[in-house]
Homo-oligomer: A and B are copies of this chain.
Amino acid sequence: MLNLYYAAHTCALATHIVLEEVGADYTTTRIDFASAQQRSPEYLKINPKGRVPALVTDRGILTETPAMLAYVAQSFPKQSLALMDDAFAFAEVQAFNSYLCSHLHVAHAHRMRGHRWVDPDDAHSIAAMQRKVPESVGGAFAYIESDLLKGPWVMGDRFTVCDAYLFTLAQWLEADGVDPKKIPRVIDHRRRMSERATVKKVIAVELA
């Protein structure tokens, strides 16, 4: 049995969607960011990084979305949601996920989590980071729009874990100051994802 620790409006949504897509037998535990539960002594035993998501398995606890997405896909090989039977195709899946994790999500994090990279009391620098977010996040989405999103799904005809991850990070683009009109293919992808039964179900759980 798998258990996913998540918080609403976080990148945990990607793994949550993929667990539902593969039909996994799983439970979820909600972590309340408003009360800083992610930094509670109890949760730090689950994930010492004090972040979500974390996935409890029979073998131990996993963190880091790209790793979790590949793990769930590998554990349910019939659906082949990471195209792992083909080393090159899997590498393209992983390169996309790594770009989302280390470029797009990192750029986004400079809006709300600037204290990770400057003194939290340095209001000037915190504000300077926030001002750059529309450009840095927008640039990443523009690159996805023009180069990475093959269509209709991220990897082309096959639905993969990349689609769940892109949909998840695309939840935040308006709040990050990105103009949706400039990335119509990303927005169309987001709309099609939002219509999937699995996505509707998972979002209903997370926002309940």
Inter-chain CA distance A118–B122, complex, in Å, is 14
User: How many copies of the chain does the oligomer comprise?
Assistant: 2
Given contacts A107-B117, A117-B107, A119-B132, contact A98 B49 (CB under 8 A): no
Whether A8 is near chain B, meaning CB under 8 Å from some CB there, is no
> Do most interface residues of chain A lie in helix, strand or loop, or is the interface mixed?
helix
Inter-chain CA distance A177–B166, complex, in Å, is 35
Number of chain A interface residues as a range = 35 or more
Whether A79 is near chain B, meaning CB under 8 Å from some CB there, is no
List 16 interface pairs A-B (beta carbons < 8 Å), by A numbering: A62-B95, A63-B95, A64-B94, A64-B98, A66-B98, A67-B93, A67-B94, A67-B97, A102-B102, A110-B117, A117-B129, A118-B125, A118-B128, A119-B132, A122-B128, A125-B129
